[in-house]
């Protein structure tokens, strides 16, 4: 039976949400979805795949491509080779996928964000989604895919019942390389990706002295202050507040852009916001092409009026 094998990503025994994108793509591929997980993985929804292959090994073995290929060999010997082998498009997923492609001589398509059922081709984007390429394997063998987070999770629907579970013995661990520890990213004081309303400022606000007033605006309208890259480069706000390709990707309900011209790197980080309101004194500012509402005005005067109105309501 043809199937798609999803290699799960597990961190500290927790099943990562990004796995849902790989599972969702397997549903679009109309293949039996088989999930490969390490022993001890928690919060795995057993109703969104057809079968689960549980390996008697910790997640550290999955983080070592040398061991993972041995696990995959065991799976292929027992169940045959899958039509598709899916990994997350993460640091560890990309490393494991590339190693497996070389080891098994499988074709590989990375950073998949779209699938065309009619042509059977996969798409990926370049230059902050300005250009899209389509790819399709022409070889009659397993194709490896790394799947971009947020692309297919809505297609990971529940099955009628729970998946069947099978246990697989762990291979002998390769001693040439070993996982040591997770090094956590330093937590930011504010997580702008969780905000429903963002007041985002650009270099158009003029100087660092204006930042406190925009912080006040964000506070009175119950939003969070964010910014474009030039503001961080000038040290007006910390890096954790930056929106864009070199900062954070955000999807708030309302994105209020104040004094931001709209470089494509910034647009890529906020273009999926539910409502974009842009304020700039330059009527030719590129951001107006992406805004649902545009206001050509002095950002400081409008800011002060918004504060006054919010405080008086």
Please write the tens of the pLDDT for every residue from 122-152.
Answer: 999 887 667 889 999 888 889 999 999 888 9
Q: Which two tokens stand for residue 231?
A: 């503001």
Please say whether the structural domain 192-312 has been given the CATH code 3.40.50.1220.
yes
The dihedral through the CA atoms of 17, 23, 25, 28 has a sign that is negative
Chain-wide mean pLDDT for the chain?
91
pTM over 0.75: no
Give yes or no on whether 3-168 and 192-312 have one common fold.
yes
Mean pLDDT calculated for residue range 239-249:
90
Between residues 246 and 279, which one has the greater pLDDT? 279
Q: What is the pLDDT of residues 195-235, one digit of tens each?
A: 999 999 999 999 999 999 999 999 999 999 999 999 999 99
The dihedral through the CA atoms of 190, 192, 198, 200 has a sign that is positive
Residue 185 has pLDDT above 90, yes or no: no
The Cα 188–Cα 196 span in angstroms is: 17
Residues in the chain: 313
Per-residue confidence at 60, pLDDT binned at 50, 70, 90? confident
| Percent of the chain clearing pLDDT 90 (strictly above) | 69
Q: Which fold has domain 3-168?
A: Rossmann fold (3.40.50)
Mean pLDDT calculated for residue range 67-91:
94
- Cβ atoms of 70 and 53 within 8 Å: the answer is no
Q: Specify the pLDDT at position 192.
A: 94
Residue 251 has pLDDT above 80, yes or no: yes
- Cβ atoms of 258 and 232 within 8 Å: the answer is no
Q: What is the pLDDT of residues 278-311, one digit of tens each?
A: 999 999 999 999 999 999 999 999 999 999 999 9
The Cα 206–Cα 201 span in angstroms is: 10
Which residue, among 6, 53, 8, 2, has the nearest Cα to 26 in the 3D structure? 6
Residue 70 has pLDDT above 70, yes or no: yes
Domain boundaries, the chain: 3-168, 192-312
Per-residue confidence at 120, pLDDT binned at 50, 70, 90? very high
- Cβ atoms of 226 and 259 within 8 Å: the answer is no
Mean pLDDT calculated for residue range 56-69:
88
Q: What is the pLDDT of residues 1-38, one digit of tens each?
A: 589 999 999 998 899 999 999 999 999 999 999 999 99
- Cβ atoms of 231 and 208 within 8 Å: the answer is no
Mean pLDDT calculated for residue range 67-79:
93
- Minimum mean pLDDT range among 22-26, 45-49, 221-225, 240-244: 45-49
């Amino acid at each position: 039976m043809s199937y798609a094998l999803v290699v799960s990503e597990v961190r500290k025994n927790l099943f990562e949400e990004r796995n849902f994108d790989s599972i969702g793509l397997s549903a679009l591929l109309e293949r039996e979805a088989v999930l490969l997980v390490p022993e001890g993985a928690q919060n795995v929804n057993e109703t969104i795949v057809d079968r689960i292959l549980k390996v008697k090994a910790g997640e550290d073995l999955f983080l070592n491509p040398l061991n993972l290929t041995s696990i995959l060999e065991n799976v292929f010997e027992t169940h045959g080779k899958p039509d598709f082998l899916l990994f997350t498009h993460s640091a560890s997923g990309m490393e494991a996928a590339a190693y497996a492609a070389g080891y098994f001589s499988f074709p590989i398509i990375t950073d998949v964000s779209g699938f065309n059922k009619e042509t059977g081709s996969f798409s990926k984007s370049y230059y902050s989604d300005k250009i899209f390429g389509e790819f399709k394997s022409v070889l009659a063998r397993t194709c490896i895919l790394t799947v971009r987070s947020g692309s297919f999770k809505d297609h990971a629907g529940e099955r009628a019942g729970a998946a069947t579970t099978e246990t697989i013995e762990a291979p002998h661990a390769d001693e040439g390389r070993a996982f040591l520890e997770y090094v956590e990213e330093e937590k930011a004081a504010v997580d702008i990706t969780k905000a429903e309303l963002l007041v985002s400022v650009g270099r158009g606000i003029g100087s660092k002295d204006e930042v406190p007033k925009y912080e006040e605006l964000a506070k009175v309208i119950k939003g969070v202050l964010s910014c474009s890259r030039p503001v961080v480069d000038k040290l007006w706000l910390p890096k954790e507040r930056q929106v864009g390709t070199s900062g954070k990707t955000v999807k708030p309900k309302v994105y209020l852009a104040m004094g931001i011209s709209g470089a494509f790197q910034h647009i890529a980080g906020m273009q999926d916001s539910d409502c974009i309101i842009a304020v700039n004194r330059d009527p030719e500012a590129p951001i107006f092409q992406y805004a649902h509402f545009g206001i050509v005005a002095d950002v400081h005067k409008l800011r002060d009026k918004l504060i006054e109105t919010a405080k008086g309501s």
